[in-house]
Amino acid sequence: METMANKIAIEKAKSSKIHDVDFDNLSFGSVYSDHMLVCDYKNGKWNTPKVVPYQPITLDPSAKIFHYGQSIFEGMKAYKDENGKVWLFRPEENCKRLNKSAQRLAIPEIPEAYFMEGLNTLIDLESEWIPQSPGSSLYIRPFVFASGNGFHASPADEYKFIIACAPSGSYFSGKVKVLIEETYSRAANGGVGYAKAGGNYAGQFYPTKLAADKGYQQVIWTDDNTHEFIEEAGAMNVFVRINDTLMTAPTSDRILDGITRKSILDIAKDEGIKTEVRKISVHELVEAAENGSLKEMFGAGTAAVVSPISGFGYHGKDYDLPDLEESYASLLKKRITDIQYNRAEDKFGWRHEVIQ
C-alpha cells in the first residue's frame, strides 16, 4: 500500500464530551465521539484528509446529494482487548468495498492510503471512546457523498469523505421473526444492490414497516424476477442450515459482498462444517421447515455479527425453527468475536492493530 505524501493534520476539540456519556447504557449509533475525519474532493483530486472536531456539515440546497443520491457508506468497528490494545477487523476489505460502491455510483475512488492512514489516525485519537464492557465496541461509519452543486442530472464535481464514530453497547435484540417478501424487491439485476448506497436502505424501510405491522421484525428479501429465491435478511446477508449443511446465496449485482459473510464461510470450513454457496429457493426452505431438516437461519453483518432467526412467515403461514443448545450461529459468532477482541489466535490474518 502506498503511503500519504502529507501527514494528516489534527485539530483537537476544545473540550471532550466523553465525561457526559453513560457507557453502561449505550444504544447503537446514537452517541458520537469528539472528532471525525474529513477529506474533500475538488478540482479533480482528493485533498489531504484532516481530523477535526465532530460538527455539523453546511451544504448548499443545490448540493447534488439531495437531488441525485450519490451517497455510499461502510460499517466497521474498533475493539479494545483486555490489555488496552486497539484492533480493527479486515479494514482493507471495507476500503475495497467502499471503492467498489464508489465506482458504481460514479464517485471518485478514495486512495487506499487516505482511507487506512486516516482511519488509524482517527481511531488512535479516539481510543478512549472504545468501551470495554462485553460485546461493546466503537462503531465506525466511513461515508462519501456528493457535495458539489447543481440541479442538472449528472455526477457532482465535488465530494466529501467523512469517517465518524459512535461508541455502542452490545448489539443483541434476541431472535427475530421474519417475513419472506413476495411483492417488493431490495435490488434488481443490473442495479446497485451490491453497493452500500444510501438509497438501497431507504427503499427497504416501507416493506419492512409493512412486515412490522404484521408482527414481524424483519424481511427476507427474494429475487426481483420470480420471488422464488431468498437473498438477504433485512440489511444483512442470510444463512440457512439444513441438516448439517450451512448455505448462503451467492453474491451478485443484487447481493452485498458482506465481510462478515465471507468470514463466516471461512470459519465454518475451518470448523469442518459443510458449506454451500448457491441459490436457496423458498420452496426448499418451506419443505425443510415442514420435514424438520431446517435447523437454523440467521442474518450476518457488522452490527450484530450474527442475528438468529426464530421463525419465518410465508403465504400467511408461520414456520418456527428449533431452539438448539449448540447452534452454528453461536459457534461462528464466538469464533469471529474472539478474533475481533484479540481473545484467540487469528490464523486468517484478519486482525489489524491500530498503531498508537
Q: Which residues pair with 9 in a beta bridge?
A: 50
CA 109 to CA 95: how far, in whole Å?
10
Q: Which residues pair with 230 in a beta bridge?
A: 222, 280
Lowest mean pLDDT among 73-77, 166-170, 336-340: 166-170
Q: What is the CA radius of gyration of the chain?
A: 21
* Higher pLDDT among residues 133 and 117, named by residue: 117
pLDDT, tens digit, for every residue of 140-181? 999 999 999 999 999 999 999 999 999 998 876 678 999 999
| Class in CATH terms, 9-168 | alpha beta
Q: Return the residue matching grid coordinates 460499517.
A: 75
CB burial class (10 A; 0-12, 13-18, 19+) of residue 14? exposed
Q: Return the residue matching grid coordinates 438501497.
A: 200
pLDDT, tens digit, for every residue of 239-290? 999 999 999 999 999 999 999 999 999 999 999 999 999 999 999 999 999 9
pLDDT, tens digit, for every residue of 196-217? 999 999 999 999 999 999 999 9
How sure is the predictor about 329, in pLDDT bands with cuts at 50, 70 and 90? very high
How sure is the predictor about 115, in pLDDT bands with cuts at 50, 70 and 90? very high
* Higher pLDDT among residues 172 and 21, named by residue: 21
Model confidence, pTM:
0.96
CA 77 to CA 87: how far, in whole Å?
9
CA 103 to CA 192: how far, in whole Å?
11
Q: Hey, what's the cell of 149?
A: 452543486
- The string of DSSP letters for 47-98 reads PPPEEEE-------TTBTHHHH--EEE--EEEEE-TTS-EEEESHHHHHHHH
Q: Matching CATH topology for 9-168 and 176-340? A: no
Instruction: With CA atoms as reference, report the closest residue to 98 among 71, 126, 134, 73.
Output: 73
Residue 1's pLDDT is 66
CB burial class (10 A; 0-12, 13-18, 19+) of residue 17? middle
Give the helix ranges, DSSP H, for the chain.
65-68, 91-104, 112-125, 198-213, 259-270, 282-291, 328-340
Q: Where are the domains of the chain?
A: 9-168, 176-340
CATH topology of domain 176-340: D-amino Acid Aminotransferase; Chain A, domain 2 (3.20.10)
